[in-house]
Amino acid sequence: MNTADSLLRLPEVLKIVPVSRSTWYDGIQSGRFPAQVKLGPRISAWRRSDIERLLTSLSGGECA
């Protein structure tokens, strides 16, 4: 992980990628969205770079 890469919690991710919580987790299961980084038993976050890569791919025409 890049040391300058920050971690985003789910509410922050959903502000950037405007989908519902259940759609987000369905996308993780299907491989469309990046998997979370587990910080603890009940704490997950996503790398900002993974979310930025996702946005780049979606804006490239892969968005359904």
Q: Which residues of the chain have pLDDT under 50?
A: 63-64
DSSP letter, residue 61: I
User: Distance (Å, rounded) from C-alpha 44 to C-alpha 34?
Assistant: 12
Q: What per-residue confidence (pLDDT) applies to 61?
A: 55
Q: What per-residue confidence (pLDDT) applies to 64?
A: 46
Taking the model in full, what pTM does it have? 0.82
Q: What per-residue confidence (pLDDT) applies to 10?
A: 97
